[in-house]
Chain A
Amino acid sequence: DAGVIQSPRHEVTEMGQEVTLRCKPISGHDYLFWYRQTMMRGLELLIYFNNNVPIDDSGMPEDRFSAKMPNASFSTLKIQPSEPRDSAVYFCASSPRPGGSNTGELFFGEGSRLTVL
Protein backbone atom coordinates (compact mmCIF):
# COMPACT_ATOMS: atom_id res chain seq x y z
CA ASP A 1 0.00 0.00 0.00
CA ALA A 2 1.15 3.53 -0.67
CA GLY A 3 1.93 5.61 2.37
CA VAL A 4 0.94 9.18 3.03
CA ILE A 5 1.73 11.23 -0.04
CA GLN A 6 2.61 14.90 0.19
CA SER A 7 3.30 17.47 -2.47
CA PRO A 8 5.27 19.44 -3.26
CA ARG A 9 8.37 18.00 -1.61
CA HIS A 10 10.14 21.33 -1.84
CA GLU A 11 8.81 24.82 -2.39
CA VAL A 12 10.66 28.09 -2.52
CA THR A 13 8.51 31.18 -2.73
CA GLU A 14 8.67 34.87 -2.04
CA MET A 15 7.08 36.63 0.87
CA GLY A 16 3.47 37.50 0.20
CA GLN A 17 2.80 34.62 -2.16
CA GLU A 18 0.17 31.99 -1.55
CA VAL A 19 1.39 28.49 -0.73
CA THR A 20 -0.72 25.34 -0.96
CA LEU A 21 0.51 22.06 0.43
CA ARG A 22 -1.29 18.84 -0.40
CA CYS A 23 -1.71 15.53 1.32
CA LYS A 24 -3.22 12.17 0.42
CA PRO A 25 -3.67 10.03 3.54
CA ILE A 26 -3.54 6.27 3.68
CA SER A 27 -6.83 4.81 2.54
CA GLY A 28 -9.10 3.86 5.41
CA HIS A 29 -7.46 6.08 8.00
CA ASP A 30 -9.94 8.14 9.99
CA TYR A 31 -7.54 10.80 11.23
CA LEU A 32 -5.41 13.29 9.39
CA PHE A 33 -2.88 15.62 10.99
CA TRP A 34 -0.85 18.59 9.85
CA TYR A 35 2.41 19.25 11.71
CA ARG A 36 5.11 21.85 11.26
CA GLN A 37 8.73 21.22 12.21
CA THR A 38 11.44 23.80 12.79
CA MET A 39 14.75 23.64 14.61
CA MET A 40 13.57 26.17 17.17
CA ARG A 41 10.12 24.76 17.96
CA GLY A 42 10.32 21.11 16.99
CA LEU A 43 7.18 19.36 15.76
CA GLU A 44 4.02 21.39 16.33
CA LEU A 45 0.51 20.12 15.73
CA LEU A 46 -1.32 22.63 13.56
CA ILE A 47 -4.68 20.94 13.01
CA TYR A 48 -6.22 17.52 12.86
CA PHE A 49 -9.30 16.04 11.23
CA ASN A 50 -11.46 13.07 12.11
CA ASN A 51 -13.57 11.71 9.25
CA ASN A 52 -12.87 14.88 7.26
CA VAL A 53 -14.10 17.16 10.05
CA PRO A 54 -11.62 19.56 11.70
CA ILE A 55 -11.46 18.65 15.37
CA ASP A 56 -8.81 20.97 16.73
CA ASP A 57 -7.18 23.87 14.93
CA SER A 58 -5.81 25.58 18.02
CA GLY A 59 -2.29 25.08 16.73
CA MET A 60 -2.84 27.05 13.55
CA PRO A 61 -0.58 30.07 14.00
CA GLU A 62 -2.89 32.75 12.66
CA ASP A 63 -5.51 33.54 10.10
CA ARG A 64 -3.00 33.31 7.29
CA PHE A 65 -3.16 29.54 7.70
CA SER A 66 -6.13 27.46 6.63
CA ALA A 67 -6.67 23.74 6.13
CA LYS A 68 -9.38 21.79 4.39
CA MET A 69 -10.27 18.18 3.91
CA PRO A 70 -12.95 18.01 1.21
CA ASN A 71 -12.96 14.20 1.17
CA ALA A 72 -11.34 11.22 2.82
CA SER A 73 -8.47 11.09 0.37
CA PHE A 74 -7.29 14.67 0.17
CA SER A 75 -6.33 17.59 2.38
CA THR A 76 -4.70 20.95 1.81
CA LEU A 77 -2.86 23.40 4.01
CA LYS A 78 -2.80 26.90 2.65
CA ILE A 79 -0.73 29.88 3.73
CA GLN A 80 -1.77 33.26 2.38
CA PRO A 81 0.18 35.49 2.45
CA SER A 82 3.35 33.62 3.27
CA GLU A 83 6.09 35.12 5.44
CA PRO A 84 9.75 34.13 5.99
CA ARG A 85 8.93 32.85 9.48
CA ASP A 86 6.67 30.23 7.88
CA SER A 87 9.77 28.49 6.53
CA ALA A 88 9.66 24.94 7.92
CA VAL A 89 9.01 21.33 7.04
CA TYR A 90 5.30 20.63 6.98
CA PHE A 91 4.32 17.04 7.66
CA CYS A 92 1.00 15.41 7.02
CA ALA A 93 0.20 12.23 8.95
CA SER A 94 -2.73 9.86 9.03
CA SER A 95 -3.86 7.27 11.51
CA PRO A 96 -6.57 4.67 11.90
CA ARG A 97 -8.92 4.99 14.84
CA PRO A 98 -7.04 3.76 17.92
CA GLY A 99 -8.36 0.66 19.60
CA GLY A 100 -8.09 -3.05 19.21
CA SER A 101 -4.92 -3.82 17.32
CA ASN A 102 -4.50 -0.17 16.34
CA THR A 103 -2.02 1.48 18.66
CA GLY A 104 -2.72 4.97 17.45
CA GLU A 105 0.40 5.06 15.32
CA LEU A 106 0.80 8.11 13.14
CA PHE A 107 2.00 7.43 9.60
CA PHE A 108 3.87 10.45 8.31
CA GLY A 109 4.42 11.61 4.79
CA GLU A 110 7.90 12.63 3.69
CA GLY A 111 7.12 16.28 4.34
CA SER A 112 7.01 19.46 2.32
CA ARG A 113 10.04 21.68 2.86
CA LEU A 114 8.93 25.30 2.52
CA THR A 115 11.30 28.23 2.17
CA VAL A 116 9.84 31.71 2.09
CA LEU A 117 12.30 34.37 0.96
Chain B
Amino acid sequence: RKEVEQDPGPFNVPEGATVAFNCTYSNSASQSFFWYRQDCRKEPKLLMSVYSSGNEDGRFTAQLNRASQYISLLIRDSKLSDSATYLCVVNRGDSWGKLQFGAGTQVVVTP
Protein backbone atom coordinates (compact mmCIF):
# COMPACT_ATOMS: atom_id res chain seq x y z
CA ARG B 1 0.00 0.00 0.00
CA LYS B 2 1.29 3.44 -0.89
CA GLU B 3 1.95 5.83 1.99
CA VAL B 4 -0.24 8.50 0.44
CA GLU B 5 -2.96 7.61 -2.06
CA GLN B 6 -5.06 9.86 -4.21
CA ASP B 7 -7.63 9.36 -6.94
CA PRO B 8 -5.75 10.54 -10.03
CA GLY B 9 -8.93 11.83 -11.71
CA PRO B 10 -9.41 13.77 -13.85
CA PHE B 11 -12.33 15.43 -12.16
CA ASN B 12 -14.12 17.38 -14.85
CA VAL B 13 -16.00 20.21 -13.17
CA PRO B 14 -18.25 22.84 -14.74
CA GLU B 15 -17.29 26.37 -13.89
CA GLY B 16 -19.09 27.47 -10.74
CA ALA B 17 -19.63 23.94 -9.43
CA THR B 18 -18.22 22.33 -6.31
CA VAL B 19 -15.68 19.52 -6.37
CA ALA B 20 -14.28 17.49 -3.52
CA PHE B 21 -11.73 14.74 -3.29
CA ASN B 22 -9.84 12.81 -0.65
CA CYS B 23 -6.41 11.55 0.11
CA THR B 24 -5.65 8.60 2.39
CA TYR B 25 -2.43 8.09 4.32
CA SER B 26 -1.05 5.00 5.96
CA ASN B 27 1.14 6.32 8.79
CA SER B 28 -1.00 6.91 11.86
CA ALA B 29 1.86 8.90 13.43
CA SER B 30 1.73 11.59 10.77
CA GLN B 31 1.30 15.06 12.23
CA SER B 32 1.57 17.51 9.34
CA PHE B 33 -0.75 17.66 6.37
CA PHE B 34 -0.82 19.94 3.37
CA TRP B 35 -2.41 20.44 -0.01
CA TYR B 36 -0.15 21.65 -2.80
CA ARG B 37 -1.16 22.72 -6.26
CA GLN B 38 0.88 21.95 -9.37
CA ASP B 39 0.19 23.46 -12.75
CA CYS B 40 1.30 21.63 -15.88
CA ARG B 41 5.11 21.63 -16.18
CA LYS B 42 5.48 23.92 -13.17
CA GLU B 43 6.70 23.47 -9.64
CA PRO B 44 4.34 22.56 -6.78
CA LYS B 45 3.12 25.43 -4.62
CA LEU B 46 1.48 25.35 -1.23
CA LEU B 47 -2.28 25.74 -1.42
CA MET B 48 -3.04 25.32 2.27
CA SER B 49 -2.06 23.51 5.43
CA VAL B 50 -4.63 21.16 6.96
CA TYR B 51 -5.41 21.55 10.62
CA SER B 52 -7.10 19.10 12.95
CA SER B 53 -10.24 21.17 13.25
CA GLY B 54 -10.50 21.73 9.52
CA ASN B 55 -9.84 25.04 7.89
CA GLU B 56 -11.03 27.25 5.10
CA ASP B 57 -9.24 29.63 2.79
CA GLY B 58 -11.64 31.47 0.55
CA ARG B 59 -13.28 28.93 -1.73
CA PHE B 60 -11.11 26.10 -0.45
CA THR B 61 -11.93 23.93 2.57
CA ALA B 62 -9.67 21.24 3.97
CA GLN B 63 -10.64 18.57 6.48
CA LEU B 64 -8.65 16.00 8.42
CA ASN B 65 -10.09 12.71 9.65
CA ARG B 66 -7.49 11.05 11.85
CA ALA B 67 -9.65 8.06 12.72
CA SER B 68 -10.00 7.07 9.09
CA GLN B 69 -6.66 8.55 8.09
CA TYR B 70 -7.71 10.77 5.27
CA ILE B 71 -7.73 14.43 4.37
CA SER B 72 -10.07 16.11 1.97
CA LEU B 73 -10.16 19.21 -0.17
CA LEU B 74 -13.32 20.93 -1.33
CA ILE B 75 -13.37 23.69 -3.92
CA ARG B 76 -16.50 25.82 -4.15
CA ASP B 77 -17.52 28.02 -7.07
CA SER B 78 -14.82 26.52 -9.29
CA LYS B 79 -12.91 28.87 -11.56
CA LEU B 80 -11.16 28.02 -14.80
CA SER B 81 -7.93 28.94 -13.04
CA ASP B 82 -8.49 26.13 -10.52
CA SER B 83 -7.57 23.61 -13.22
CA ALA B 84 -4.44 21.94 -11.89
CA THR B 85 -3.16 18.85 -10.13
CA TYR B 86 -3.69 18.87 -6.38
CA LEU B 87 -1.05 17.06 -4.36
CA CYS B 88 -1.70 15.71 -0.90
CA VAL B 89 1.35 15.91 1.36
CA VAL B 90 1.86 14.11 4.66
CA ASN B 91 4.88 13.88 6.88
CA ARG B 92 6.03 10.43 7.85
CA GLY B 93 5.58 11.03 11.53
CA ASP B 94 9.11 10.42 12.71
CA SER B 95 10.47 13.59 11.19
CA TRP B 96 8.90 16.74 9.84
CA GLY B 97 11.30 16.76 6.91
CA LYS B 98 10.15 13.40 5.55
CA LEU B 99 7.28 14.77 3.54
CA GLN B 100 5.53 12.25 1.34
CA PHE B 101 3.67 13.54 -1.72
CA GLY B 102 0.70 11.78 -3.22
CA ALA B 103 0.60 11.30 -6.97
CA GLY B 104 -1.99 14.03 -7.30
CA THR B 105 -5.60 14.52 -8.32
CA GLN B 106 -6.17 16.31 -11.59
CA VAL B 107 -8.99 18.83 -11.72
CA VAL B 108 -10.21 20.26 -15.02
CA VAL B 109 -12.69 23.12 -14.80
CA THR B 110 -14.66 23.60 -18.00
CA PRO B 111 -16.57 26.69 -19.20
Contact = CB atoms under 8 A, between A and B. Distances in A.
Sorting the interface of chain B by its residue count into under 10, 10 to 19, 20 to 34 or 35 or more gives 20 to 34
A43 B34 CA distance: 14
B102 A104 contact: no
A44 B102 CA distance: 9
A45 B102 contact: no
Interface string A6-49: 00000000000000000000000001010100000011110010
B97 interface: yes
Contact of A42 (B43, B96, B99, B101): B101
Contact of A56 (B42, B43, B45, B97): B97
A33 B89 CA distance: 14
Contacts of B44: 43, 91, 106, 108
Interface of B: 32, 34, 36, 42-46, 49, 87, 95-104
Interface of A: 31, 33, 35, 42-45, 48, 50, 55-56, 91, 98, 103-106, 108-111
